[in-house]
Amino acid sequence: MIAIPLLLGQGLALSVAGHFSWQWFVFAQLFGVFIQVHTLYLNDYADEQLDRQNHNYWLSGGSRVIPDGKLTGTQLYRASFIPAIAALGLACVAALDGRPLLLLFVVLGLFASWSYSLPPVKSSYRGFGELHQGLSCGVGLPLCAFYLQTGSLAAFPWLFLLPVFLIFFASNIVTALPDIDSDELGGKRTYPVRYGVIKAKRQAVLLSAFASALVLFFVLEATAAFATALLIAGPPSLLFIGARFSGLTEDTTEHKRFMLTIMIGQLWLLLLWVAQLFL
């Protein structure tokens, strides 16, 4: 969720602006690691009560270290400050080397991690989790990586953010499916809680399929090679179609297959798009 959008932003920097540096590649991926760990620790801390009530978790429901008694919420909360400080230190080093805006991206990343689950914002509880994830992962991360490689956002192809935003918007819907019972009990207004399982699944498929079509268009426009575009957009489209007709049920046993199908399609699409950009 973090490493791949950062790779995509750097692929865009190379293909659009002709910039790539291994130094800034390392900075970008380290930024991703620090923000990822900070986010996971805070989410586990914030969702402790929900995770204790959740018995249907699968690729969701937190890391389970708190419900399993391996760590306490307080320990995770305190530990979350370590990667946060590391990210701020990384930004200071980057600023001294000509990338001062990384400090802004780090601050925004830490705010996004905090405000997703913790008060006063608690966007995932108030019904804005999918928008939050779409903007932070699908918009903020590619912009950050592009900036690190080029030192500017002047040449950024802004339209390319749309399919990435849609993928992460849909991803938030999908990963909330197995947690619907505990989320309802805990008052967490995720997309499936607000609109129901069937509508949530249908919307996730449509959004993912539209994102796949946009990537197909971008690749065709850039390379004029239909075979390459078909390779990138074809398999995910088949996965989305398969999910459309096999997983639209409220049966909880189908959530796992549906979730895995959509996530494989999204991952496939992003990775092949990244490869096309670098090649």
189-242 pLDDT per residue, tens: 999 999 998 899 989 988 988 998 898 888 877 776 666 776 676 777 766 666
Torsion of CA 30, 111, 204, 8, to 10 degrees: -30
Number of domains in the chain: 1
For residue 278, what are its two tokens? 């670098």
pLDDT in tens, 169-188: 999 999 888 888 778 887 88
Tokens for 239, please give them.
Answer: 């996965």
Residue range 99-127: mean pLDDT, rounded: 94
Tell me the helix, strand and coil percentages in the chain, rounded to 5.
80, 0, 20
Mean pLDDT of 88-105: 97
Better-scored residue on pLDDT, 256 or 200 = 200
Q: What is the pLDDT of residues 32-74, one digit of tens each?
A: 999 999 999 998 888 777 766 665 655 665 677 877 788 888 9
Which has the closest alpha carbon to 275: 10, 1, 2? 10
Question: Domain span at residue 229?
Answer: 3-278
Return the SS3 of 80: coil
pLDDT at residue 3, as a whole number: 96
Of 52, 68, 50, give the one whose Cα is nearest residue 190: 50
The pLDDT score that the predictor gives to residue 274 is: 93
Closest CA to 92 of 107, 102, 83: 102
- Confidence tier at 162 by pLDDT (50, 70, 90): very high
In angstroms, the CA 63 to CA 57 distance is 10
Apex CA 19: angle with CA 15 and CA 21, to 5°? 125
pTM exceeds 0.95: no
pLDDT band at 75; cut points 50, 70, 90: very high
Count the alpha carbons within 13 Å of 157 in the hemisphere toward its beta carbon: 18
